[in-house]
Amino acid sequence: MSQVERQQWDVVVIGAGGAGLRAAIEAREQGLRTAVICKSLFGKAHTVMAEGGIAASMGNVNDGDNWQVHFRDTLRGGKFLNQWRMAELHAQEAPDRVWELETWGALFDRTGDGRISQRNFGGHEYPRLAHVGDRTGLELIRTLQQKVVSLQQEDATELGDHEGRLKVFQECTVTRVIKEPGDGGRVAGVFGYDRESGRFFVLEAPSVVIATGGIGKSFKVTSNSWEYTGDGHALALLAGAPLLNMEFVQFHPTGMVWPPSVKGILVTESVRGDGGVLRNSEGKRFMFDYIPDVFKEKYAQSEDEGDRWYEDPDNNRRPPELLPRDEVARAINAEVKAGRGSPHGGVFLDVSTRMSADVIRRRLPSMYHQFKELADVDITAEAMEVGPTCHYVMGGIAVDSDTAAAVAVPGLYAAGEVAGGMHGSNRLGGNSLSDLLVFGRRAGLHAARYAAGLERRPVLDEEAIDAAAAEALRPFSAEGPAPGEEDGRPPENPYTLHQELQQSMNDLVGIIRRDGEMRQALQRLVELRQRARRAGVEGHRQFNPGWHLALDLRNMLLVSECIARSALERTESRGGHTREDFPVMDRSWRRANLVCRLADPAAARADLEDPEPVRGQIRLERVETEPIRPDLLALFEKEELVKYLAEEELYE
Ligand code: FAD
């Protein structure tokens, strides 16, 4: 068996984005020896791409804002399917997390009187997003990295070893969470490989925090980067933890549509927050035709009123370009389908007629350069062409709201985009960066407390480590036939499999979903999974991207099946899940969470062949949501609750 290097830590955090770094800082501040592992270079997490800002009800620009209003907006955005306790903690703690960042050195844009500036965003009643131009994620990551370095300097002084209590393993991929031997065991560590050398390693630890981000690379058109292959979702499933409401995938309304090489790259919502308007090929501001009943009273009914709101928000209602993302994405999709799209299959987004060139370059510097360099479009003089792009997954690892502990696996925690529940069926812009900080801190804190409270360190399942190594090496010997198949078939190319998967998910489980297409998708996933067992690569283990992709395929296929199965099951349209055959939100579904588990936990062991590949890997269960606490319900008008809550909840 291959050589596997081993080290012992107290807490291992998988992922060095906002959630992972905040968790690691907290665990280290609790005095525990903490390791952070990331697939890319340190600092190159997905969080760095975040543009618009961090949502926190500091009330700096409009003092009407407070955590209760933020909570209300978050539940409305998520169409009341949010884990309400998470939404409550998030709204209450987000301001502290932003102020804390400032004390660690973050430099936010300021208001005229020197406070942290806050901007408007879709679905937020007041200007709420603390920001740094349109490069907020960069400042967030820079600040957290700086904090990591300062803690390491303290450790260098105290222990003579700057990595003694906090170490980052960059360009390393985790492929398995390892538990104690036996059924239902607790977490004992992680298995992974170093991308450059190809060497295997095991980090032993009683607590593991998964903070690996999202799943976008399962779809063809996406704003997500190469890292988003659903690894953390799959790691949790394979370790025995369930995933929650995976049907809810957010298609951001505004991605670039041209040229083809950059299709999907994000056009930040700040463009609309700062005054950008959407028009169709006839020049019409079509969003006024798409205000759903539940939002009618909150949005302007005429262009004049919408325009006045930017100057006088207390006496006017906001323009419908600032509806939650799911509404805007569906509207754009409908306009394009009706033949009123732009030349390259999107619609027009214009700031050039709304702000001076100087202001555009100052407030939206990245967008200005992005369009100039990638599409040769000057957004200070012309409209952009935009269309929906797969952006974020609301579904994720089912966690305890207070502690971020994963359900059913002691010692496993999850935070950030990989965790489910906080955003319900649709996330509001800006609520991810605040989620990372609030629940990253909580995950680090509770993972540390759990590890510190154990009487003995868990024992690693040695067979599971051998199986994980065999699984990782399989692509190098894929020329042999899979069990039950003819001899002599050539290995499958992982890149081809990936493209076929992305195309299938885009076409069959995309923004508008239909029963027959989702069944077709599930069938294709079975075929792809069988072929993926023969995904083969040439060469050796030193930096071999084909090998890395062959291993990532397992994760994307698992996650895609969760999305397709849950989407087929939920026969209503809600938030990020739109069914053409069930076009309205059905209140009776409000109480239903869809939970995905591995169908056959024994087959999760890397060395076992899948006995019945056709059946699929996922078992779906309906679990009733906990009733929302009465004092939180009291924050809403009764007439509004009638639109969302199930009949029996209203009586209760
Ligand atoms: P990430 O920041 O992606 O970090 C994931 C980490 O996990 C990485 O370090 C990665 O290398 C590591 N990893 C993954 N798999 C493995 C593995 N198997 N082994 C080891 N390491 C692994 N949200 C907002 O609130 N406001 C915004 O303005 C905003 N703008 C956005 C703009 C863009 C273009 C995009 C794409 C998203 C935006 N979002 C925004 C969403 C937000 O950025 C993400 O949801 C958030 O950054 C996710 O953070 P995270 O810590 O969960 O994951």
pLDDT digits (tens, 9 = 90+) for 574-589: 999 999 999 999 999 9
Tokens 């960059």 correspond to 170
Answer whether 504 contacts ligand 1 (Cβ < 6 A): no
Q: Contact 595/244 with Cβ under 8 angstroms?
A: yes
Predicted confidence (pLDDT) at residue 613 exceeds the cutoff of 60: no
Q: Contact 497/528 with Cβ under 8 angstroms?
A: yes
Count, residues in the chain: 652
Ligand 1 atom closest to 416 (CA): 52
Query: What burial class does residue 74 get, using C-beta atoms within 10 Å of its C-beta: 0-12 exposed, 13-18 middle, 19+ buried?
Result: buried
CA of 73 from ligand 1 middle (Å) equals 23
C-alpha angle 419-218-418 in degrees, rounded to nearest 5 = 10
Q: Choose the catalytic residue: 28, 272, 325, 574.
A: 325
How many CB atoms are closer than 10 A to CB 607? 13
pLDDT grade, residue 478 (50/70/90)? Answer: confident
Specify the amino acid at residue 547. Answer: W
Predicted confidence (pLDDT) at residue 329 exceeds the cutoff of 80: yes
CA of 32 from ligand 1 middle (Å) equals 25
Q: How far is residue 646's CA from residue 640's CA, in Å, rounded to a whole number?
A: 12
Q: Contact 271/285 with Cβ under 8 angstroms?
A: no
Q: How far is residue 196's CA from residue 651's CA, in Å, rounded to a whole number?
A: 60
Region of poorest pLDDT, from 104-118, 244-258, 389-403, 609-623: 609-623
Answer whether 98 contacts ligand 1 (Cβ < 6 A): no
The reported pLDDT for the residue numbered 603 is: 60
pLDDT grade, residue 481 (50/70/90)? Answer: low
Please compute the mean of the pLDDT values over residues 108-128 and round it to a whole number: 94
Q: How far is residue 472's CA from residue 487's CA, in Å, rounded to a whole number?
A: 23
555: closest CA among 513, 494, 484, 492? 494
Alpha helices in 533-575 (DSSP H): 545-569
First vs last Cα of the chain: how many Å apart?
Answer: 60
The reported pLDDT for the residue numbered 182 is: 80
231: closest CA among 189, 201, 191, 199? 191
Q: Contact 598/617 with Cβ under 8 angstroms?
A: yes
Residue closest via CA to ligand 1's atom 11 equals 39
Residue 415: both structure tokens together:
């935070």
The answer for 527, left when phi > 0, alpha when psi is -120 to 50, beta otherwise, is: alpha
Answer whether 17 contacts ligand 1 (Cβ < 6 A): yes
**Percent of the chain's residues with pLDDT above 70:** 96
Residue closest via CA to ligand 1's atom 30 equals 50
Residue from 178, 413, 433 to probe ligand 1 pocket by mutation (most atoms less than 8 Å from CB): 433
C-alpha distances (whole Å) from 377 to each of 195, 335, 372, 430, 611 are 38, 23, 5, 27, 54
What is the DSSP secondary-structure string of 291-314? --GGGGGGB-SSHHHHHHHHH-TT
243: closest CA among 271, 272, 202, 210? 210
131: closest CA among 300, 280, 290, 270? 270
What's the mean per-residue pLDDT of the chain? Answer: 93
Answer whether 38 contacts ligand 1 (Cβ < 6 A): yes
Residue 317: both structure tokens together:
């209602």
Estimate to the nearest angstrom the gap between the alpha carbon of 403 and the chain centroid. Answer: 19
Answer whether 266 contacts ligand 1 (Cβ < 6 A): yes
111: closest CA among 60, 70, 74, 68? 60
Answer whether 585 contacts ligand 1 (Cβ < 6 A): no
Specify the amino acid at residue 602. Answer: A
pLDDT grade, residue 616 (50/70/90)? Answer: confident
Ligand 1 atom closest to 15 (CA): 7
Q: How far is residue 236's CA from residue 231's CA, in Å, rounded to a whole number?
A: 9
CA of 511 from ligand 1 middle (Å) equals 21
Q: Contact 192/175 with Cβ under 8 angstroms?
A: yes
Ligand 1 atom closest to 131 (CA): 28
Ligand 1 atom closest to 174 (CA): 19
Answer whether 224 contacts ligand 1 (Cβ < 6 A): yes
Predicted confidence (pLDDT) at residue 608 exceeds the cutoff of 70: no
Answer whether 18 contacts ligand 1 (Cβ < 6 A): yes
The reported pLDDT for the residue numbered 607 is: 47
The reported pLDDT for the residue numbered 1 is: 53
Region of poorest pLDDT, from 201-210, 312-321, 428-437, 595-604: 595-604
Answer whether 174 contacts ligand 1 (Cβ < 6 A): yes
**pLDDT tens digits, one per residue of 443-477:** 999 999 999 999 999 999 999 999 999 999 999 98
CA of 639 from ligand 1 middle (Å) equals 37
CA of 253 from ligand 1 middle (Å) equals 19
271: closest CA among 199, 314, 328? 328
The packing angle between helices 515-532 and 545-569, to 10°, is 150
Residue 390: both structure tokens together:
């797969």
Q: How far is residue 442's CA from residue 396's CA, in Å, rounded to a whole number?
A: 17
Predicted confidence (pLDDT) at residue 294 exceeds the cutoff of 80: yes
Please compute the mean of the pLDDT values over residues 128-144 and round it to a whole number: 95
Q: Contact 642/650 with Cβ under 8 angstroms?
A: yes
Residue closest via CA to ligand 1's atom 31 equals 50
C-alpha distances (whole Å) from 514 to each of 560, 567, 578, 583 are 16, 9, 9, 10
Q: How far is residue 172's CA from residue 13's CA, in Å, rounded to a whole number?
A: 12
pLDDT grade, residue 506 (50/70/90)? Answer: very high
Q: Is the peptide bond before 181 cis (omega within 30 degrees of 0)?
A: no
Listing from the earlier edge strand, what are the strands of the sheet with 396-397?
Answer: 396-397, 243-244, 592-598, 618-624
More confident residue, 3 or 166: 166
The answer for 264, left when phi > 0, alpha when psi is -120 to 50, beta otherwise, is: left
Q: How far is residue 90's CA from residue 73's CA, in Å, rounded to a whole number?
A: 12
Residue 550: both structure tokens together:
């062959």
Residue from 46, 235, 417 to probe ligand 1 pocket by mutation (most atoms less than 8 Å from CB): 46
Answer whether 430 contacts ligand 1 (Cβ < 6 A): yes
The reported pLDDT for the residue numbered 610 is: 54
SS3 of residue 144 by DSSP: helix
The reported pLDDT for the residue numbered 517 is: 96
Verdict on whether the full-model pTM lies above 0.80 = yes
SS3 of residue 444 by DSSP: helix
Tokens 């408007």 correspond to 120
Residue from 138, 212, 219 to probe ligand 1 pocket by mutation (most atoms less than 8 Å from CB): 212
Q: Contact 426/78 with Cβ under 8 angstroms?
A: yes
The reported pLDDT for the residue numbered 4 is: 83
Domains detected in the chain: 5-54+133-248+392-455 (3.50.50.60), 251-389 (3.90.700.10)
pLDDT grade, residue 211 (50/70/90)? Answer: very high
Please compute the mean of the pLDDT values over residues 259-269 and round it to a whole number: 91
Task: Give the residues across from 35 on adjacent strands.
Answer: 12, 167
Residue closest via CA to ligand 1's atom 33 equals 50
Q: How far is residue 52's CA from residue 371's CA, in Å, rounded to a whole number?
A: 17
Residue 325: both structure tokens together:
């993302």
**463-481 as b/e: b if 16+ CB within 10 A:** ebbbbbbebbbbbbebeee
Please report the ipTM that was assigned to this predicted complex.
Answer: 0.99
CA of 46 from ligand 1 middle (Å) equals 3
Answer whether 137 contacts ligand 1 (Cβ < 6 A): yes
State yes or no: is 325 an active-site residue: yes
Q: Contact 384/348 with Cβ under 8 angstroms?
A: yes
Tokens 């502290």 correspond to 96
Answer whether 230 contacts ligand 1 (Cβ < 6 A): no
**pLDDT tens digits, one per residue of 344-390:** 999 999 999 989 999 999 989 999 999 999 999 999 999 999 999 99
Predicted confidence (pLDDT) at residue 3 exceeds the cutoff of 60: yes
Q: Contact 590/646 with Cβ under 8 angstroms?
A: yes
Ligand 1 atom closest to 19 (CA): 51
Answer whether 392 contacts ligand 1 (Cβ < 6 A): yes
More confident residue, 122 or 570: 570
CA of 647 from ligand 1 middle (Å) equals 38
CA of 392 from ligand 1 middle (Å) equals 9
The reported pLDDT for the residue numbered 570 is: 98
Task: Give the residues across from 129 on adjacent strands.
Answer: 55, 119
CA of 83 from ligand 1 middle (Å) equals 21
